[in-house]
Amino acid sequence: MAKEKMVDSITSMDEDFAKWYTDICKKAELVEYTSVKGCMVIRPYGYAIWENMQKILDGIFKETGHENVCMPMFIPESLLEKEKDHVEGFAPEVAWVTHGGSEKLEERLCVRPTSETLFCEHYANIVHSYRDLPKLYNQWVSVVRWEKTTRPFLRSREFLWQEGHTIHATAEEAIEETERMLNVYADFCEKYLAMPVVKGKKTESDKFAGAVSTYAIEALMHDGKALQAGTSHYFGDGFAKAFDIMYTDKDNKKVYPHQTSWGVTTRLIGAVIMTHGDNNGLVIPPAVAPIQAVIVPIQQFKEGVLDKANEVAEALRAAGIRVKVDDSDNSPGWKFAEYEMKGVPVRIEIGPKDIEQNQCVTVMRHNRQKDFVSLEGIADTVKEKLEEVRKGLYEAALENRERRTYSCTDMDGIIKALEAGDGFVKAMWCGEEACEDKVKETTGVGSRCIPMEQEHLSDVCVCCGKPAKCMVMWGKAY
């Protein structure tokens, strides 16, 4: 049975998914537009989601031996141009500083689109011996890429992210790091964001500028489009050679080290919206929800109601649950719609009759399941409800992905499968870029990744009929 649509001000996702998305970003008070085209204000509620993501990931990074650093935001043009493939990949998106005050700069400065060149310059100054390796660094910063088409969180000219940069003695160590961080991202998305992902390797034409290989996690949004949720890159020794980074190994020989970089951005907030949201607004996974439980007092003007609501809130806070008591003079109905819009995982209603029976009402955001529960052990009960929300969100997202994933053995099969709606397409590929381009041109879906978990669907390429080298996941993407 279709859920009743309580919030008329949000465009239905079935009517216009892009407008639905923008409505939620604005009406849930996640962002506001600015006079700088393509840039956004991340409002407190939106930033709180990012802070929770940041806190979890930063803890994981430190547990895996990484340290936080901070590089400058400006890159001299001569430094950016040291790695040819890298600069060519980013040139169309670079913003340049040409003046300092009223004086023209002797050399243009790039506002960092990414920081590989800055880290390389630093490594060249500090890495001299095998004893200096590895360096496992990360930074939390903003970057600028002059995008032509922008949308809140998904693509903006300035965005927040973390970028990890590591340097290792051997290729084996660097590749291990690249794959380890890909797995960290996948686990984070699935465990904390309740968002199933496909882990895979990018094709040669789709890899990061200057990388030997790029790995990514791909998630499927509610509308059947793919979203790249994180990337991890192995650079080999290409950057080291370009920047003359060498170290003395245990045999007293001068050799080049091997590097990696990896990152996720505030685009993950967009992923959460489009994976879990519904026509009533946001649905936020409990781990990153700014408010995990909201308490709505019923007939709060009556004696004892607010006292009991605050008592319950204190019990939840003591158990580490992020909770809010809404004691404003808005009606309970308004509050219900407001916190549905904001995606709060659990709503608690408590009024005079509940107090008499030492109970309250809990309502879970993702399925609106309503239960009467005892106030005894309320913190444990709410924790159980939060876990139910997480599991429910993951299962619904997985069901959406499985229902929208098609296995095809020829081009006509892809076209026919997509008549049912956008989604992931599994199909075999010969490895030739010409076939990769033709699949996109003919069917509208591009390569997303070569999944780590391979399946053998046929012996031949979906496009040319020549022997296949691997299975590719194809799809339309944000």
Instruction: Output the domain CATH number for residue 459.
Output: 3.30.110.30
pLDDT tens-digit profile of 53-81? Answer: 999 999 999 999 999 999 999 999 999 98
CA distance linking residue 239 with residue 166, whole number of Å? 12
In a domain, 51, yes or no: yes
Q: Which two tokens stand for residue 137?
A: 């660094």
Kindly state whether residues 351 and 440 are assigned to the same domain: no
The pair of three-digit structure tokens given for residue 134, joined into one six-digit string: 């590895």
Residue 308 covered by a domain: yes
Taking the C-alpha atoms of residue 273 and residue 13, their distance in angstroms, rounded to an integer, is 12
Whole-number Cα distances in Å, 149 to 122, 154, 156, 476, 478: 34, 10, 8, 16, 11
CATH of residue 300's domain is 3.40.50.800
Residues 366 and 431 in one domain: no
DSSP 275: H
pLDDT in tens, 433-464: 999 999 999 999 999 999 999 999 999 999 99
Reported as a single tens digit per residue, the pLDDT across 245-297 is 999 999 999 999 999 999 999 999 999 999 999 999 999 999 999 999 999 99
Identify whether residues 463 and 331 lie together within a single domain. Answer: no
**Count: domains in the chain:** 3
- Is 11 part of any domain? no
Q: What is the pLDDT of residue 84?
A: 78
The pLDDT of residue 3 is above 60: no
Average pLDDT over residues 387-412: 98
pLDDT at 89 over 60: yes
- Residues 294, 299, 305, 306: what is their CA dihedral angle, to the nearest 10 degrees? 60
Average pLDDT of the chain is 96
Q: Are residues 334 and 454 in the same domain?
A: no
Q: Which of 433, 438, 343, 367 is nearest to 29 (CA)?
A: 343
Q: Which amino acid is at 84?
A: K
Local confidence band at 111 (pLDDT 50, 70, 90 cut-offs) = very high
Average pLDDT over residues 7-29: 91
B/e letters for 36-64, b = 16+ CB within 10 Å, e = fewer, are eebebebeebbbbbbebbbebbeebbeee
Residues 154 and 295 in one domain: no
Please check whether residue 282 lies inside any domain of the structure.
Answer: no
How high is the pLDDT of residue 143? 96
How far apart are the C-alpha atoms of 117 and 135, rounded to whole Å? 15
Residue 101 has pLDDT above 80, yes or no: yes
- Do 43 and 151 lie in one domain? The reply is yes
What is the reported pLDDT for 5?
47
Identify whether 448 is part of a domain: yes
Whether 416 and 348 share a structural domain: no
Could you tell me if 445 and 413 are in contact, meaning their C-beta atoms sit under 8 angstroms apart? no
pLDDT score recorded for residue 8? 56
CA distance 246 to 252: 12
Do 441 and 362 lie in one domain? The reply is no
- Is there a domain that residue 151 lies in? yes
Asked if the structure places residue 173 within a domain, the reply is yes
Give Cα separations from 458 to 40, 138, 203, 468 (angstroms): 47, 42, 20, 8
Average pLDDT of 330-339?
A: 96
With respect to residue 97, please indicate whether it lies within any of the assigned structural domains. Answer: yes
Q: Please, which pLDDT band fits residue 86 given cuts at 50, 70 and 90?
A: confident
Domain that holds residue 454: 405-475
| Domain end call among 224, 251, 276 | 276
Give 357-393 pLDDT, tens digit per residue: 999 999 999 999 999 999 999 999 999 999 999 999 9
* Rama region for 247: left / alpha / beta (φ>0; ψ in -120 to 50; rest): beta
182-191 tens-digit pLDDT:
999 999 999 9
Q: Is the pLDDT of residue 313 over 90?
A: yes
Tell me: do 314 and 379 sit in the same domain: yes
Give the closest residue to 478 by CA, choosing from 216, 218, 225, 206: 225
Sheet holding 103-111, edge to edge: 74-76, 103-111, 95-100
Single residue among 322, 354, 388 that ends a domain in this structure:
388
